[in-house]
């Protein structure tokens, strides 16, 4: 019995040591690409900082103003619940009031937003939805945050390569953030759009 326990311990240590074996160092070409990319990202530092600040300002969450005149219809509730089932745990779902304005990052066809929270006994998770072309969809900023929060540091055994891969993933997402461009033309008004005063 004692031998089996020791053997298991030795095998576990060998597996950990093997997993942490450093990868081969980058080739000259790879090193050149790494340095070129880092230089480009350094030059984009101000733009990336702006994107990061804007993304944090738009971090998906419940908003209660300005409320849409028509809060939410039964059909919209069913539509929201269908989307929520794809992204949130199967549990009680709380739908916030519908707000009648969208950040410009959601695009010109966005007429409303809602925040959905699923609660389980141990946790809760939220999801920002935007009303685009008279249909509820996961908001563009929410999709971006899903991808941003999925980025984790690699563990290849080469600290330089790990840092580069992490920076590359984050900076590529900064490049893809849905920033507003030009003047937006408002979406067509519908029955579920707030009335102008």
193 confidence band (pLDDT: 50, 70, 90): low
Distance CA 140, CA 129 (A): 9
pLDDT reading at 185 higher than 60: no
pLDDT reading at 14 higher than 70: no
Specify whether 72 is located in the same domain as 168: no
Residue spans of alpha helices (H) in the chain: 2-19, 28-43, 45-57, 74-87, 140-149, 159-176
Contact present, 150 and 161 (Cβ < 8 Å): no
157 confidence band (pLDDT: 50, 70, 90): confident
Secondary structure class of 150 (helix, strand, coil): coil
5 confidence band (pLDDT: 50, 70, 90): very low
The pLDDT value given to residue 17: 41
Section 159-185 average pLDDT: 88
Specify whether 41 is located in the same domain as 85: no
Specify whether 150 is located in the same domain as 168: yes
Joined tokens for residue 62: 């419940």
pLDDT reading at 122 higher than 60: yes
Secondary structure class of 130 (helix, strand, coil): strand
Q: What is the number of structural domains in the chain?
A: 2
pLDDT reading at 153 higher than 90: yes
The pLDDT value given to residue 120: 81
Specify whether 119 is located in the same domain as 75: yes
Residue 108 is part of which domain span? 61-138
Specify whether 56 is located in the same domain as 151: yes
pTM of the model: 0.77
pLDDT reading at 20 higher than 90: no
Specify whether 131 is located in the same domain as 164: no
Confirm whether 114 is domain-assigned.
Answer: yes
Joined tokens for residue 57: 């300002």
What confidence tens digit (pLDDT) does each residue in 69-100 have? 989 999 999 999 999 989 888 777 899 999 99
Section 134-145 average pLDDT: 96
Specify whether 56 is located in the same domain as 77: no
pLDDT reading at 197 higher than 50: no
Q: Is the dihedral of CA 43, 44, 46, 48 positive or negative?
A: negative
- CA dist 49 to 39, 73, 133, 135, Å? 16, 39, 32, 33
Specify whether 48 is located in the same domain as 67: no
Specify whether 100 is located in the same domain as 167: no
Section 24-42 average pLDDT: 93
What confidence tens digit (pLDDT) does each residue in 45-63 have? 999 999 999 999 999 999 9
Specify whether 152 is located in the same domain as 166: yes
Specify whether 40 is located in the same domain as 102: no
Contact present, 118 and 124 (Cβ < 8 Å): yes
Section 105-110 average pLDDT: 94
């Amino acid at each position: 019995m004692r031998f089996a326990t020791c053997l298991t311990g030795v095998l576990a240590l060998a597996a950990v040591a093997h997993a942490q074996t450093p990868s081969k160092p980058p080739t000259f070409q790879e090193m050149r690409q790494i340095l070129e990319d880092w230089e480009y990202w350094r030059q984009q530092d101000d733009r990336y900082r702006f994107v990061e600040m804007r993304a944090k300002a738009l971090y998906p969450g419940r908003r209660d103003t300005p409320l849409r005149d028509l809060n939410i219809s039964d059909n919209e509730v069913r539509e929201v619940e269908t989307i929520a089932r794809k992204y949130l745990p199967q549990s009680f779902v709380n739908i916030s009031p519908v707000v009648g304005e969208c950040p410009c990052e959601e695009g010109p066809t966005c007429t409303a937003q809602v925040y959905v929270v699923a609660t389980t006994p141990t946790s809760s998770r939220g999801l920002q939805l935007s009303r685009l072309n008279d249909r509820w969809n996961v908001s563009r900023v929410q999709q971006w945050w899903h991808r941003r929060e999925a980025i984790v540091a690699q563990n290849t055994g080469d600290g330089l390569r790990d840092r580069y891969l992490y920076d590359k993933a984050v900076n590529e997402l900064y490049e893809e953030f849905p920033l507003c461009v030009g003047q937006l033309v408002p979406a067509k008004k519908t029955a579920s759009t707030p009335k102008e005063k």
